[in-house]
Amino acid sequence: MFFLLETAAAETSVLSILISNTMPFVVVLVVMYFMLISPQKKREKKLTDMRNGLEIGDGVVTAGGVVGRIISIKEDTVVIESASSKMRLKRWAISEVEKLDVE
């Protein structure tokens, strides 16, 4: 009987040591998820929604800093006009939509 109690106590202590050693890693992973991964997913979703909601006539800024107005939209490309020149761009190259002054 004493042997069984001793074995059970040893298993409990091994389990508690295992939990106490792995708990900091679990906490770090959870904190990293909520501080890094979750906000990044929200930003990506917001950008995707913005790019899917593009309309002809919207003013846009590309990832390279080119400012222009959308004149044509196709499946995965947009054509913008900037300083009387036209450029065809992929949708992912649009970084933001701006309100342009009407001239």
Domain total of the chain: 2
Per residue in 43-55, pLDDT (tens digit) is 999 999 999 999 9
Q: Considering only residues 77 and 15, tell me which one the structure prediction assigns the higher pLDDT.
A: 77
Query: Are both 41 and 72 inside the same structural domain?
Result: no
Strand partners, 89: 78
Query: Are both 2 and 47 inside the same structural domain?
Result: yes
Query: Are both 48 and 86 inside the same structural domain?
Result: no
DSSP for 14-51 reads: HHHHHHHHHHHHHHHHHHHIIIIIHHHHHHHHHHHHHH
Which CATH number fits the domain that encloses residue 80? Answer: 2.30.30.100
92 pLDDT higher than 90: yes
Using DSSP's 3-state secondary structure scheme, residue 83 falls into coil
> pLDDT at position 2, please?
46
Helix, strand, coil in percent for the chain, rounding step 5:
50, 25, 20
72 pLDDT higher than 80: yes
Average pLDDT over residues 86-103: 85
| Residues 10, 18: Cα–Cα separation, whole Å | 12
